[in-house]
Structure 1
């Protein structure tokens, strides 16, 4: 059975190189694009891309709508279908301008990969995220055991993530030298730390409690005074696995190496939240927790800009639009506060200002639905 087309492989290699070098896409993002193109190739029986026709795009959309998730057995989500079709649209749009393909199909032909307007709205709609509160994360931290070196490390990881909002892949790559306890800061140096888009910036500890800071300080002191770690050693070393006394492989302590990825950190979070009797919250969700905390505490645009920069966002709108969405229950609380405030100030019906504010929030709620 045909598994590839040599000509397709050559042009795909050029496209992936274009995405990485010209569009500056991360390797993981390019891999997702490659998977989408591979799915289309398999559907078209590895036909030469130069023979692309709009009918093939239309039939592929119908094919995706019938596919099921290999793990759950459920139909593919609208978001998954949308992302695959958008990847294919971008690829064939680029392909239409390449030698050997320009005369075969037009730029406009790529538009036939567009999903329906209704499916696009469903796929891109913003929905309430399950975000833990600061109090819940603190509860998790202070119910975690800290008897062994591994347990101390795991508790410090959750505390550090709440203090800094650092992404899990960055947390896995920090070194001791990047933390300055006196300045209450961590230097996210892209030369050593796997930050998103390889940005370099300084994060100061968020105000989530001195006792949370103490957990991190105790861990760093343990690394330096008990395990003799130096500045270039990992802040959160990976677990050393070897044969135990029971002749089984298991954790026997800590190594002096970094984790290669963040999968272990996500497992630590899952175990910690479940042990505390709370739904699993992944490390990234704590960034949403901190964004909402900033909305409650910041009183001026300058303060929120500083808060946003502390999360590593160059544009404050990123914090507002991607992390600062007001949850529906909080939305109801705000509306109630507006009503009560207006009643107390006016002593009567809502003013035009309050009505405008109410209508604005209701429109936003309607749009989310």
Structure 2
């Protein structure tokens, strides 16, 4: 069974380079587009893009409607389908202007990837997300253990996020120098903090309760006075991974490095003392499993 087409791979490389250098897109966004194109290629049995026909666009739209989410078993959402189709529409539109393709593909061919007007409205509609209340988050904080350094950090992450409203990827990249307890603010400096759109701005503490702010202050004091962290050290350090007495890799305290991404923060708290990848889950107690803590 065919698994790739050499000519397609070459033109895709050019397209991804165009997105990165000309369109200034982030690597994660390009990865999502690459996944959409790969899904179309697999469905078309890795047919040469130069032989694209509008019937292929129609067929792939019908194919997506029938697909189901691997994890949930439910039909793909309108938003997911819309995202795939828009990525393919942009790709085919770009192909129509490339040498070796423009004589075979017209710019109008890309429009056949458009979903129906009703589906587009459903996919792009803004909806209010369900999130825990402040009281629920405070209950989580009150239940969380905080004896070890890792437990202190995990509790402080939730308290800090409630206090500042910062995005998870930004939280994972903050350094000590970015928080100003006297001014009750956090500088989200895009040079060092992974902010959305790499914008620099200051965030001020929300009035969510003195006990929440006290948890953050205690954590910062613990880092400075007990662990002797400096201004350039991480505000929420990654978990140090070492070999345990059992001969397995496990958590052995905190490192002096930031997390590379927010995956450790995003992990759902469904197991007690669970450890995933570069850090422990936010909540390490089974009684907290009813909460996701935050809908990031």
TM-score by length of 1: 0.72
- Larger gyration radius, structure 1 or structure 2: 1
Question: Are 1:171 and 2:171 counterparts?
Answer: yes
Q: Helix, strand or coil for the counterpart of 2:76?
A: coil
Deviations 1:329-362 (A, max 9, x none): xxxxxxxxxxxxxxxxxxxxxxxxxxxxxxxxxx
**Cα distance in 1 between the residues matched to 2:65 and 2:31:** 22
Query: Deviation of residue 9 (structure 1)?
Result: 1.5
Out of 267, 292, 296, the residue aligned to residue 280 of structure 1 is 292
| Residue deviations 1:132-191 (CA, integer Å, cap 9, x gap) | 222222222222121111111111101111111111111111111111111111111122
Q: Whole-Å Cα distance in 1 between the matches of residues 2 and 247 of structure 2? A: 48
Quick one: distance in 2 between partners of 1:263 and 1:81?
A: 25
The structural deviation recorded for 1:12 is: 1.1
Q: State the distance in 2 between where 1:216 and 1:193 align.
A: 18
Q: Which moved more, 1:122-131 or 1:136-145?
A: 122-131
Query: Which residue of structure 2 aligns with residue 90 of structure 1?
Result: 90
State the alpha-carbon separation in 2 of the partners of residues 245 and 213 from structure 1: 38
Distance in 2 separating the partners of 1:204 and 1:154: 21
Q: What corresponds to 2:275 in structure 1?
A: none
Deviation, structure 1 residue 276: 3.8
Q: Deviations over 1:101-156 (max 9, x none)?
A: 22212111111111122322332333342112222222222221211111111111
Is the Cα contact below 8 Å between 2:188 and 2:201 reproduced in 1? yes
Structure number with the higher helix fraction is 1
Q: Give a deviation string over 1:278-324, Cα, whole Å, max 9, x none.
A: 4324352xxxxxxxxxxxxxxxxxxxxxxxxxxxxxxxxxxxxxxxx
Aligned to 1:254: 254
**Structure 2 spans left out of the alignment, 5+ residues:** 271-281
Q: Spell out the pairing of 1:41-52 with structure 2 (5 A cutoff).
A: 41-52=41-52
In structure 1, runs of 5+ residues without a counterpart are 285-369
Alignment of 1:226-305 (within 5 A): 226-245=226-245, 248-267=248-267, 272=283, 275-276=287-288, 278-282=290-294, 284=296
Q: CA deviation at 1:246?
A: 5.5
d(CA) in 2 for partners of 1:130, 1:274: 22
2:177 and 2:235 map into 1 onto residues whose CA distance is 8
Matched, 1:216 2:216: yes
What is aligned with 2:153?
153
The equivalent of 1:120 in structure 2 is: 120
Q: Quick one: distance in 2 between partners of 1:283 and 1:258? A: 22
Give the secondary-structure state (helix, strand or coil) at the position aligned to 2:253: strand
Q: How far is 1:219 from its partner?
A: 0.5
Equivalent pair of 2:239/2:252 in contact (CA under 8 Å):
yes
Tell me the equivalent position of 1:8: 8
SS of 1:142's equivalent in the other structure is: helix
Stretch moving more, 65-74 or 257-266? 65-74
Distance 1:66 1:12 in 2: 26
The corresponding residue for 1:22 is 22
What secondary structure is seen at the aligned counterpart in 2 of 1:135? helix
Tell me what 1:40 maps to. 40
3-state DSSP class of the match of 1:65? helix
**2-structure distance, mates of 1:45, 1:116:** 25
Contact 2:2 2:46 in 1 (8 A): yes
**2:183 alignment counterpart:** 183
Cα shift at 1:229 = 1.1
**Is 1:206–2:218 an aligned residue pair?**
no
C-alpha deviation, 1:252, in angstroms = 2.2
Whether the aligned pair in 2 keeps the contact of 1:168 and 1:283 (CA below 8 Å) is no
